[in-house]
Amino acid sequence: MKYYILFFLIGVIFFTGCNDSQKDQKGTFVGGQIMNPYNPYFILSKDNKTIDTLFLDQNNQFGKNFNGLEAGIYSFNHPPENQIMYLEPGDSVLVWLNTMQFDESLNFSGPGAAKSSFLLDMFLNNERNNNLMLSYYKINPSEFAGITDSIKNRRKNKLEKLNEKKNFSESFLDLANNSIDYDFYHLRERYTFLVKKYYNELAQQIPDDFHDYRDDLNFNDTELKEYYGYLNFIEDYLRTRSIERCLEEYDTNADCFELHSVDNIQYRISLADSLIEKSEIKNIFINRLAIQGMVFSNNAEKIDSILNILEDINFNGTNLPDLKQMAAIQKSLLPGNNIGSLSLTNFQEENIQLEDISDKPIVTYHWSMEAPEHYKWQHSIISTLREKYPELEFVGINIDNDSQQSWRNTVEVYGMNKEREYKLNSANINVNLLKNYLNKLIFLDTEGNIVNGEAQLNTPNFERQILEFLNN
């Protein structure tokens, strides 16, 4: 089937290509096939703006010729999954994937596809390197430097050899080389953070030239703003610099690794504000940091402090109203507040309040259909906890705005407990904000009062928190 779509679409391209090329040499064709689709469409976007939604036909195929697309990184979304591709005028890129292994099965073909294939290969290698970091950070800095140098050189050589065959445009070569560099910088920053936190002896061995690249950083590369490696680097850079600043000022690590403290959040926001001039990049990190600070706040004063930080830097990003709503949500979930009247829909499509579900103390967990790996892992653990702690009622709350039927289908397909799965009635709440609570559980007494709003599933002290909750 994979090759059927390839030849079919290439045939379409060439059949129409003669006329189209005469009319418009700058057209860009995007097409493909999705096996085992989650939904009947493929969304192409850039800069967080949807360019078009391409619907799948009876063979799960799609395709369209676009006029006027500028060269650059584009995102494509087949909810809940997404990836990036690189497009230039004149490209004809075919996408083939199987949702059972989205990233691993993803394949690009056709004229111009080599650019997207290179970025995909970078992504998959970065995923593997992220997993290896758990062992990498235990080696000395010189050895780690050698590993990262080797990774960088291999990628540069691969790009050079590909260019000899494909004759890439200068714009893509610049982007590809920069993406390799920032992936390299990201590894160095992650290592620095980890050894400073866990292996101070190794941290003392970091040579003076280990961070030489910091002198030539560009925090305003709008061509890379959709490249995850670039964004990951900036996030880790801000984190590492905040730790280094703290250790220099206080000469102790007692509180320096409290990444959600007001002091740490304030420093990182101020640093992002001073380093990043482009609002479309700056706002990404200020939003992230503000939300992190709020979600991990355990009192209203801390939440207000985060909002005050935004006020101090005169932040007026488009997401400011959402951040204020985030503050209100977090305040409502602080210990002592009552959320027993929270409106939910059960599997029989009846409206019900949270406090009416059970006479037992309740533990809520939250999930989204856009994070399938998370809810599969989550429900597996919850199933074990239900058996271990029968005196508690574990209540699943889906936060999506999708249809009731989509939610019901997901509950049935994955064998969730229908009697303990509910859908949140939250038309007025930004679902993207609620996604920040997917890793949190909320402990409620029999009256609907919040006892603990900070528990996180499968953390080292999680079951201790459960026992404390039961013994209160």
Query: In this structure, what CATH number is given to the domain that contains residue 460?
Result: 3.40.30.10
For residue range 385-421, list pLDDT tens digits in order: 999 999 999 999 999 887 788 899 899 988 999 999 9
For residue range 253-295, list pLDDT tens digits in order: 668 888 988 999 999 999 999 999 999 999 999 999 999 999 9
Q: Decide: residue 94, CB within 10 A, 0-12 exposed, 13-18 middle, 19+ buried.
A: buried
Residue from 286, 277, 280, 332 nearest 307 by CA: 286
Q: What is the pLDDT of residue 6?
A: 47
HEC states along 135-158?
Answer: HHCCCCHHHHHHHHHHHHHHHHHH
Tell me the two tokens of residue 432. Answer: 């993207």
Q: Which residues pair with 32 in a beta bridge?
A: 62, 95
List strand residue ranges (DSSP E) for 56-114, in order: 61-66, 72-78, 81-87, 92-98, 107-109
Q: Domain for residue 396, yes or no?
A: yes
The tally of domains found in the chain comes to: 3
Q: How far apart are CA 32 and CA 89, in angstroms?
A: 18
Q: What is the pLDDT of residue 445?
A: 95
Say if residue 89 is in the same domain as residue 32.
yes
Q: What is the pLDDT of residue 21?
A: 42
Contact status, residue 339 vs residue 448, Cβ threshold 8 Å? yes
Residue 469 DSSP SS3: helix
Say if residue 382 is in the same domain as residue 234.
no
Question: Which of 308, 332, 356 is the last residue in one of the domains?
Answer: 332
- The dihedrals phi and psi of 34, each to the nearest 5 degrees, come to -120, 115
Q: Domain for residue 337, yes or no?
A: no
Say if residue 9 is in the same domain as residue 46.
yes
Say if residue 393 is in the same domain as residue 445.
yes
Q: What is the pLDDT of residue 5?
A: 46
For residue range 99-144, list pLDDT tens digits in order: 888 889 999 999 999 999 999 999 998 888 777 777 777 899 999 9
Q: Mean of the per-residue pLDDT values for the chain? A: 89
Say if residue 396 is in the same domain as residue 417.
yes
Q: How far apart are CA 239 and CA 268, in angstroms?
A: 7
Say if residue 9 is in the same domain as residue 131.
no
Supply angle C-alpha 388, 390, 395, rounded to 5.
Answer: 100
Say if residue 101 is in the same domain as residue 134.
no
Q: What is the CATH number of the domain that holds 87?
A: 2.60.40.1120
Say if residue 299 is in the same domain as residue 394.
no
Say if residue 318 is in the same domain as residue 255.
yes
Residue numbers of the domain that contains 43: 2-111
Q: Domain for residue 18, yes or no?
A: yes
Q: What is the pLDDT of residue 119?
A: 95
Counting as low any pLDDT under 70, the low residues of the chain are 1-25, 251-254, 427
Q: What is the pLDDT of residue 7?
A: 42
Say if residue 140 is in the same domain as residue 71.
no
Contact status, residue 445 vs residue 338, Cβ threshold 8 Å? no
Q: Domain for residue 338, yes or no?
A: no
Question: Which of 74, 92, 111 is the last residue in one of the domains?
Answer: 111
Residue from 220, 217, 221, 222 nearest 240 by CA: 217
Say if residue 87 is in the same domain as residue 28.
yes
Q: Domain for residue 17, yes or no?
A: yes
Q: What is the pLDDT of residue 8?
A: 46
For the entire predicted model, the pTM comes to 0.85
Question: Which of 53, 78, 111 is the last residue in one of the domains?
Answer: 111
Say if residue 43 is in the same domain as residue 187.
no
